[in-house]
Structure 1
C-alpha cells in the first residue's frame, strides 16, 4: 500500500479561461478539493507555499480550515520556505492547525525555491547572521523550530504573571504531541537529504533534482532516497521515516483529458536553478494501460511510501477530482498502490 495525496501549487489568475480568478477562489477551492479528495479515498491534501506571488502564501489558516472540514485525510505543505519564518510563531500556528485537525498535519519545510522578488525574506524581518548564507539561515530557523517543537520549557516565567503559571520554565502553546515526528524536509540534493535524516525529519524529494550524475531524474531521485534511508539508519532513530515523491500523472479517459494533456511531457528536462544544473522529472499522460507500464518503471516512485500528485488547480475542483478519481480507479490498483 502506498499513501497517495495531491499537491496543489495554488495558482490563481484573473485571466480569461482561469477557473481560479482570485485569492479568495484559490483558498475556498483548495478546501473544497480536499473535502472531495477525502470522499474519493485519497490519503493527503498538500499545498505549496510561495510569497509575493498569485499563489497560496500563508498556509496555516488554510490548513486549519481544511482540518475543520475533513475527518481523515492528511493535511500538509510542500514546502514552507524557512528563510521567511519566525520559528516560535510558526510553532504556535502549526500546533493550532494540528490540534484542530486531530493530529493529521504533515508539515513540509525547506530552504525554499527561487523567489519572485530579490531577497524577499528581508521584507519579513529576517537577516542572515555574520558569515551566513540565506540557506544557512533557513537551516538555523529549522533547527530552532525542531528544538522548540519538542515541547520542553525554555522561557523564564514572570514572577507576577497575569494568570497562574505551571511550575518551571514555560514552553510555547498550544503544544501538539507527536507533531515533531510529522515534519518533512524538501530536498533537491543528496547532501540535504542526508542532513534531513540526521535531523530526524521525513523526506519530501523535490520536483527537481540537482543533476549529480547525469542519469535520468527517477534514477537520481531513487539514489537520493537510498542515501537518506542509510543516513537515517546510521543516526539510530527509533522510528521508520516516511518518504514522498511528486509526479504529474494524467490518465487520458476522455476528450477533455486528451485536449489538456494529450501531448504530455514524456522526457526529463534540464535547467539552471540558482546557479546549479537541475533535472526536472517527466510528466505522465497516457491511456491507463500504457500509463501503468510507464509508472511501473519509475524507480523513485517504487522507493517512496508516499506519492503526491501535482494537480492543475486552475482547471477547477471538478476536473481535478476527475483526475484523482481516474488514478485511484484505473491506475493505482494495477500498481499495487491500492
Structure 2
C-alpha cells in the first residue's frame, strides 16, 4: 500500500438527491436519511447537488435547512448553486439563516455562467431583464459582499414602528470564510483565489491546451487530456492567487465506488455504470472541451492506490467523493459505509465522531 506524507484531513460525500416526480417526498427523505447516516459514520461533510427543472434537488438550501435539524455535527454543503438562477441578496439572506440554524455548519458552493438551457428558460426566468443580467464573476462578488456585511443601502434606522438595517439580516459570522467556488478552469480557480474563497474541484475540468501552467511532468504526464495534470495546475493557480497561499482550502470531488462489502449483483451493476461512462474520459468533450475523470471502482485498497498516484489528490487534504447518480438507497449505504470504514482509513483519515 502506498503511503502519504499528508493524511486525509476531511472526508465528505456528494449526492444528487434524485426523486420520483410522481411522488417526490420519499426521494427527499432518502437524501436526508443519507446525510444522517453520513454523520453516524463519522463523515466530516455532506454535499448536495443543484438541479433545476430536473428530478433532483432544486432547492438545496431548503433541504440543508431540514438536514441541519436532523444532525448536530456534520458540515452541510452545496456543490454547487448556479448563481444565474439566484438573486444574490435574497440568497445571502437564506444562506445566513440556514447557517445560524445549523450552528455554523453551512458550506455554500457556487458557480457562474448562463443558466443551463438558457434560451429555453429565459422567458420564465428573466422575461424582462435577460439582456441586462450579469452571469459572470460580478454575481459572485455581490454575494460575497452581502454575506460579508457590506451595506446594501444608504439607509438604516427607524421609520414609524419598524427598524431597518443597511446590511443583510441575519448576519452569520464566519459564513463568508466557508464560501466555495466550483471551478473547472485556470481562470476560475485564480479568480476564486484572488477573492479569498475556497475551491471545489470536481470530476470535470476544462482541457486548456497546450499545457496547463504549473503542472510538472514528474509523473510522465503532460498531455493536453491528462485530467490529473490539468486539475493540479488549477489547484496551484488557485493557491498562488489566494492570500492564504498553500493553506488555502481545496476539496476534490472524484467519483469513487468501493466494492469491499458489495454483493455480486451490486458489483456487476457498478461495473456496468462505470463502463458506460468511461468512453467520455478518453478525450475532451463538446465546444467547451470538458474533460471527465474516470470513475474509480474496486476495493478500497485499489482505489487508495489510484488516488495516491493522482497528482492533484496529492496536493489536497480534503475530499467530497461524488456518489453515482442513479443507484438505489441500499447501494449508497454500502458505498458510504465502505468509504467511511475502509477507504477513508486507507487514506489516513479518522472519523469525526
Please give the TM-score of this superposition, normalised by the length of structure 2. 0.83
Equivalent-residue separation in structure 1 for 2:131 and 2:119 (angstroms)? 18
1:333 and 2:348 equivalent?
Answer: no
Q: Helix, strand or coil: the match of 2:285?
A: strand
Residue number in structure 2 paired with 1:226: 236
Q: Distance in 1 between matches of 2:140 and 2:120?
A: 18
Q: How far apart are the structure 1 equivalents of 2:92 and 2:65?
A: 14
Q: How does 1:117-266 map to 2 (within 5 A)?
A: 118=119, 120=121, 123-125=124-126, 127=129, 136-155=134-153, 156-157=155-156, 159-164=158-163, 170-212=166-208, 213=211, 214-232=224-242, 236-237=243-244, 240-253=247-260, 254-263=263-272, 264-265=274-275
Contact 2:41/2:337, CA 8 A, preserved across alignment = yes
Deviation digits for residues 25-76 of structure 1 (CA, Å, limit 9, x no counterpart): 2211111100011001111110111211111111111111111110110101
Q: 1:88 matched to which residue of 2?
A: 89
- Give the aligned partner of residue 318 of structure 2: 306
Q: From the superposition, tell whether residues 103 and 121 of structure 1 become closer, same or farther in structure 2 (CA, over 3 Å).
A: farther
For residue 171 of structure 1, report the CA deviation from its aligned partner: 1.2
CA contact (8 A) 1:32 1:317 kept: no
Give 2:9's match in structure 1, choosing from 2, 21, 25: 2
Tell me the alpha carbon deviations over residues 201-259 of structure 1, each in whole angstroms, 9 at most, x when there is no partner. 10011321111131421221011101111111xxx359942111111111223313312
**Are the aligned partners of 2:304 and 2:343 in contact in 1 as well (CA < 8 Å)?**
yes
> Quick one: structure 1 residues 249 and 206, their matched pair in 2 at CA, closer, same or farther if it must change by over 3 Å?
closer
Q: Tell me the C-alpha RMSD between the 2 structures.
A: 2.5
Q: Which runs of 5+ in 2 are unaligned?
A: 1-7, 212-223
Check whether the contact 2:251–2:317 (CA below 8 A) recurs between aligned residues: yes
Match of 2:307 among 295, 299, 305: 295
Asked if the contact 1:29/1:317 (under 8 Å) is kept, the reply is: yes
Tell me what 2:35 maps to: 34
SS in 2 for 1:25: helix
Offset of 1:316 from its aligned partner?
A: 3.4
Q: Answer yes or no: is the 8 Å Cα contact 1:83–1:112 preserved in 2.
A: yes
Asked if structure 2 preserves the Cα contact closer than 8 Å seen for 1:95 and 1:176, the reply is yes
Measured in 2, the distance between the counterparts of 1:171 and 1:195 equals 25
2:82–2:115: 8 Å Cα contact kept in structure 1? no
CA–CA separation in structure 2 for the residues paired with 1:188 and 1:113: 15
Q: Secondary structure at the match of 2:107?
A: strand
Tell me by how many angstroms 1:116 deviates: 4.5
- After TM superposition, the score normalised by the length of structure 1 is 0.86
Unaligned residue ranges in structure 1 (runs of 5+): 15-20
For 1:257 and 1:113, locate their aligned partners in 2 and report how far apart those are by CA, in whole Å: 38
